[in-house]
Amino acid sequence: MKRLFIFVLFSFFLLFKAQEQATAAAAAAIADAVGDSITTESTEPTERILSFHSDITVHKNSSLTVTETIVINSLGYNFKRGIFRTFPSVRNLNGKTKKVKFKILSVKKDGVTEHYSTTYESSQKTIYVGNEDTYLDPGKYTYQITYETPDQIGFFPKYDELYWNVNGMAWDFPIDKISATVHLPQGAKILQNACYSGVEGSRAQNCSSKIISDNEIEWQGGSLLSRENLTIAVGFPKGIVMPPPPPSFLEKNGISMFLLLVFGGLLLYGYNSWKKYGVDPEKPVVYPQFNVPEDMSPAELGYIHHEGYNANYLTASLVNLAVKKFVVIKETTQKSLLGISSGKKYEITKLKEPSPKLAKEEIGLMNDLFSKSSTIMLDGSYNSKIERAVGNFTHNMTFQYKAFIKEGNNSNKVVRPAIVVFAIFILTFIVSSIIGDSTEQLVIGVFGLIFVIIFFAITMVLISKMEGLNKGCIIAFIAIFFLPFFIGFIIFFIAGNFDQNTRSSFLFLIAGIGFLFAYRYLIKRPSEEKLRKQSLIDGFKMYMGAAENEVIKFHNPPQMTPAIFETYLPYAMVLGVDKIWGKKFQDMLEQMSVDYTSDWYTGSPIGFAGLGNTLNSSLTNSISSGSTPPSSSSSSGSSSSFSSGSSGGGFSGGGGGGW
């Protein structure tokens, strides 16, 4: 019985242990299954760079041949067509900022030559590997980019050094594994080496090096996050790699000297042509003139004196017609509903038909104003008849006198030097861009040149159209709208990142344009006849604009009379001495206690001292308003930087990504 009891207990014990082991095995199986699930989930494929290896060969001429092998995992999100690689176009080396060149030797994908394109922007060169119309299937791809780049060695007093940024800092993808190998020229011996990893400027050294031979070394950088890089540095004895020879004097200053000689030639040409065509004849001495010079009309006299048209010429012509009894001018004051004065209006009435003895512009003015009625009202409101009269009057004046004023202008003399300035600039700028291997500089220069040519052409046209009192407005327009852009243009190209040759080209362009403006002004040579007439007009203005105590110094000046006052008033208006002329007439009336009533003008009692000025302003404004149509209303609906070798940075810099 005891034996039977012991056997039963032992059987229950064995059954319990077997159940415990089965439970543990089941739990382990579940754990393994969960672990596998977690592992599978954590290794879910992502777009990334699986490996980046750079094989760098240093040549004795200080250039490098670099082969970058980049393995990616593409899912078609960012790596759609392939990859792109960027290279900075400038770097600091040997204490100087210099341009860097890259020459692509080959581009392959999975061992087969691959299509690529190149762009230049923001001081960097970008290589797009792949075809714009061809998309990648999800999977792993191996890209290989081989390129040459010159002048990449740093030369120091005791050693020479390659300081190189392996992958650049502009990659938007993590890199699982990064490495680099450097092959120095035969005979070189590695003196020292260092590596840095992490973001730009990092001093972290999560990397290792292995010297393969006296002139070969390999680095392992582990994994990197996006925007992190591996920077390597290796020093070797001097004399192995030859530094590039310094540029010769002509290479460095040849273009500048050539431009200086051309500009000197321009100055010499400008001086000789000015002596031949631009020296002004001697202007006759100005003497007081007591009569209208050569019976000129007021408008003709004003046009020749100011060398251009002004709106008050028409007003003076109307006053002249009134003085000669062809029209009468009646001024009235417009009043508002409250009886407050709100402006002046003028009623012009024709008294008789125009005489052939009148000036052509005055005959045309009367015919235009009084074509259908003998009265016209100037109240500031638009009138198509006034618009037509003003337009015809302006055209008539320009047709009669512009050729006389422009005689000897010599504007065609500017064409040759202008062609020389722009042609020499284009030539030297293209040569500078080729020497500097800068496509970006060439593009910027072309757009800059287009702006300068447009600015120059518009300014020259405006200068040619500067007539009379409008000159100040045009100069103000140029100063406000063009000068700031031109100054900004100058600052941009002087302070920008351009080499000496390019800056010399733009300085020549700026100096050349300044020369053209000065030459355009100096080459003008007024005709002797124009100077003669202008001296007579100046003498007439001298008489009318002189104060009374000055007039008595003149030889036999005429005595002021109402007839002389009226006859000369339109001329005083165009010459700008109407206030003085009216004041002298009023002083004469007061001294002689004589009453005077005008039969050609009726209006407010303003006194004769202000009569000409009032007509010059109010009547001219009324004519201007009447000739301007009202405006119609409208509605509308609603990469990397370089360091000295003490931290992460270095060259090649740049970076890359998918596209």
Q: Which residue carries 């006299």 as its tokens?
A: 301
- Mean pLDDT over 27-49 rounds to 50
pLDDT digits (tens, 9 = 90+) for 285-295: 998 899 999 99
pLDDT digits (tens, 9 = 90+) for 57-66: 999 999 999 9
Among 360-364, 382-386, 620-624, 637-641, the range with the most confident prediction by mean pLDDT is 360-364
Is residue 339 domain-shared with residue 434, that is, in the same domain?
A: no
Is residue 361 domain-shared with residue 418, that is, in the same domain?
A: no
- Mean pLDDT over 139-150 rounds to 95
pLDDT band at 468 (very low <50, low <70, confident <90, very high): very low
Is residue 588 domain-shared with residue 621, that is, in the same domain?
A: yes
Compute the Cα dihedral for 620, 622, 627, 630 and give only its sign: positive
In the chain, the number of structural domains is 3
In the predicted model, is pLDDT for residue 134 greater than 50? yes
pLDDT digits (tens, 9 = 90+) for 41-62: 334 578 999 999 999 999 999 9
Q: Which residue has the higher pLDDT, 416 or 645?
A: 416
Distance CA 278, CA 409 (A): 9
Q: Which of 157-166, 204-213, 436-445, 494-503 has the lowest mean pLDDT?
A: 436-445
pLDDT band at 67 (very low <50, low <70, confident <90, very high): very high
Among 53-57, 452-456, 586-590, the range with the most confident prediction by mean pLDDT is 53-57
Residue 2 belongs to some domain of the structure: no
Residue 176 confidence (pLDDT): 94
Question: Domain span at residue 82?
Answer: 48-245
Residues contacting 576, CB < 8 A, separation 6+: none
Q: Which of 474, 507, 522 delimits the end of a domain?
A: 522
Residue 440 confidence (pLDDT): 59
Residue 453 belongs to some domain of the structure: yes
Residue 127 belongs to some domain of the structure: yes
Q: Which of 160-164, 166-170, 215-219, 541-545 has the lowest mean pLDDT?
A: 166-170
In 581-619, which positions are buried (b, 16+ CB within 10 angstroms) versus exposed (e)? bbbbbbebbeeeeeeeebebbebeeeebbbbbbbbbebb
Residue 387 belongs to some domain of the structure: yes
Distance CA 315, CA 615 (A): 7
Provide the pairing of β-strand 327-335 with 229-236: unpaired
pLDDT digits (tens, 9 = 90+) for 72-124: 999 988 899 999 998 887 766 655 667 778 899 999 999 999 999 988 776 67
In the predicted model, is pLDDT for residue 318 greater than 50? yes
Compute the Cα dihedral for 24, 25, 28, 29 and give only its sign: negative
Distance CA 143, CA 108 (A): 6
Is residue 365 domain-shared with residue 425, that is, in the same domain?
A: no
pLDDT band at 478 (very low <50, low <70, confident <90, very high): low
Residue 548 confidence (pLDDT): 66
- Mean pLDDT over 616-633 rounds to 65
> E strands along 166-244, which residues?
175-183, 192-198, 208-213, 216-224, 229-236
- Mean pLDDT over 437-443 rounds to 61
Residue 30 confidence (pLDDT): 35
Q: Which of 52-56, 133-137, 471-475 has the lowest mean pLDDT?
A: 471-475
- Mean pLDDT over 410-420 rounds to 89
Q: How far is CA 262 from CA 107, 121, 259, in A?
A: 45, 33, 5
In the predicted model, is pLDDT for residue 3 greater than 60? no
- Mean pLDDT over 126-131 rounds to 92
Q: Which of 522, 552, 585 delimits the end of a domain?
A: 522
Among 30-44, 258-272, 376-390, the range with the most confident prediction by mean pLDDT is 258-272
**H/E stretch holding 145:** strand 139-149
Q: Which residue has the higher pLDDT, 387 or 648?
A: 387
Task: List for the chain the helix, strand, coil content (%; round to 5).
Answer: 45, 20, 30
Retrieve residue 564's tokens. 């002389």
Retrieve residue 88's tokens. 């900075």
Taking residue 343's Cβ as centre, other Cβ atoms within 10 Å add up to 14
Distance CA 233, CA 196 (A): 9
Is residue 591 domain-shared with residue 464, that is, in the same domain?
A: no
pLDDT digits (tens, 9 = 90+) for 534-551: 999 999 999 988 876 676
Distance CA 221, CA 616 (A): 87
pLDDT band at 268 (very low <50, low <70, confident <90, very high): very high
Residue 442 confidence (pLDDT): 64
Q: How large a percentage of the chain has pLDDT more than 90?
A: 38
List the helix and strand counts (H, then E) for the chain: 17, 23
Q: How large a percentage of the chain has pLDDT more than 70?
A: 74
- Mean pLDDT over 460-477 rounds to 60
Amino acid at 654: G
Compute the Cα dihedral for 180, 185, 186, 192 and give only its sign: negative
Is residue 458 domain-shared with residue 598, that is, in the same domain?
A: no
pLDDT digits (tens, 9 = 90+) for 365-408: 999 999 888 998 888 788 888 888 888 999 999 899 988 988 88
Residue 645 belongs to some domain of the structure: no
Is residue 382 domain-shared with residue 462, that is, in the same domain?
A: no
Residue 86 belongs to some domain of the structure: yes
Q: What's the DSSP call for residue 556?
A: S
Q: Which of 107-116, 203-212, 443-452, 505-514 has the lowest mean pLDDT?
A: 443-452
Output the 3-class SS for 582-648. Answer: HHHHHHHHHHHCCCCCCCCEECCCCCHHHHHHHHHHHHHHHHHHHCCCCCCCCCCCCCCCCCCCCCC
- What's the chain's average pLDDT? 80
In the predicted model, is pLDDT for residue 320 greater than 90? yes
Distance CA 469, CA 45 (A): 78
Residue 430 confidence (pLDDT): 81
> E strands along 322-464, which residues?
327-335, 341-350, 375-378
Strand partners, 147: 66, 104
**H/E stretch holding 14:** helix 2-42
Distance CA 356, CA 460 (A): 40
Q: Which of 334-343, 373-382, 647-656 has the lowest mean pLDDT?
A: 647-656
Is residue 497 domain-shared with residue 550, that is, in the same domain?
A: no
Residue 179 belongs to some domain of the structure: yes
Is residue 113 domain-shared with residue 211, that is, in the same domain?
A: yes
Residue 385 confidence (pLDDT): 85
Helix (H, G, I), strand (E, B) or coil at 567: helix
Residue 32 belongs to some domain of the structure: no
Retrieve residue 18's tokens. 């077997």
Contact in structure between 143 and 82 (CB atoms under 8 Å):
yes
Residue 648 confidence (pLDDT): 46
- Mean pLDDT over 34-47 rounds to 49
Distance of CA 640 to the CA centre of its chain: 28
In the predicted model, is pLDDT for residue 241 greater than 70? yes
Is residue 415 domain-shared with residue 400, that is, in the same domain?
A: no
Strand partners, 266: none
Is residue 79 domain-shared with residue 189, that is, in the same domain?
A: yes
Contact in structure between 222 and 639 (CB atoms under 8 Å):
no
Is residue 342 domain-shared with residue 473, that is, in the same domain?
A: no
In 3D space, the residue among 171, 229, 167 whose CA is nearest the CA of residue 198 turns out to be: 229
- Residue 124 maps to which CATH number? 2.60.40
Distance CA 209, CA 232 (A): 9
